[in-house]
Structure 1
Amino acid sequence: MNRKILCFIIAAVLLLCPLTLSAAAPAEQIFSTEILQLANGDYCEITITEETDSPQLFAAASTKKGAKTYTYKNSSGTSLWYVKVTGTFTYNGSSSKCTNSAVSAASKISTWKISSKSASKSGSTATAKATAKLYLNTTVMQTVTKSVSLNCDKNGKLS
């Protein structure tokens, strides 16, 4: 009899105090943007985005996910191509480590093609590298190789 009462009380408490879990995807917010002017009039836009997520309770280390995108634009502001590194990091206030690194790269217009791309990680840094080529018909007119790195410090700050 006591066992049934105890089960009833536990069930009542669980029903009256439901846990709310969010199934929504983490939001991504722009952390910083930098513009680099090139000698030929084109420019590059470098953006760091950070994924915001719920804090992890009782975890020995926190996790942070972010991305750094290098977008090559012409002088009129049209995006030509980009390379993006996405990194996942753990940090605990005394050290940080990159646990995953991924690359994405694509051309935004038909005359530019991505010929190669790669991702790597080392210590607290995620790196992506891509080579883009500008074509006139079948002739390569320009080749640009760009490497972009995302670092996470011991406190979870991305740079």
Structure 2
Amino acid sequence: MPPDTAPSNLPGPSRVAPWTDAAFPAPRTRTPPRSAKAQFTLPAQEVLVGCLRRIAADLLSRWHLSDAERDAAVLIVGELAANAALHGRSEMSLCLTLGPGALRIAVGDHGDPAPPREPCATDDPDEHGRGLTLVHALSTRVDLHHDDHGTWILACLAVAAARPWAD
């Protein structure tokens, strides 16, 4: 009896010749995802804002955004994360979602709110108060959501076709 078939009187599935279509089904073609998403949460500390900027820059490079798109997105991340850290909740989160033609950047702060920060006499006016103006200037849309659990700001940035699934 040839080795590629099993006798019909034995229990169990019959063997199939290794060269048949049943033994080697056609490979599935992989459809690239229509969007990519990443989320990071860190303690809400001003010293960690740079970490979120570097994480975003690296990820957006891997998602093949242009240098200008990546730089604009990293600026938005930095401004929103600085606000989340400054307003002192226990954690800050960054969520990046890349879809067709748009990058959604959401930054939120969580936990118990800190007491409001009083402006300090040494605060440089060139360093404070312009963040959301920059975010609005770079974004096609900015939404704010605030509840008892924290504040989320979503900024949408128009981007050319990117390929998050290429790597």
Q: Same fold (TM over 0.5)?
A: no
| TM-score (normalised: structure 1) | 0.29
Q: Which has the larger radius of gyration?
A: 2
Q: Which structure is richer in relative contact order (CA contacts within 8 A, separation 6 or more)?
A: 2
Higher normalized strand content (fraction of residues): 1
| TM-score (normalised: structure 2) | 0.28
Higher normalized helix content (fraction of residues): 2
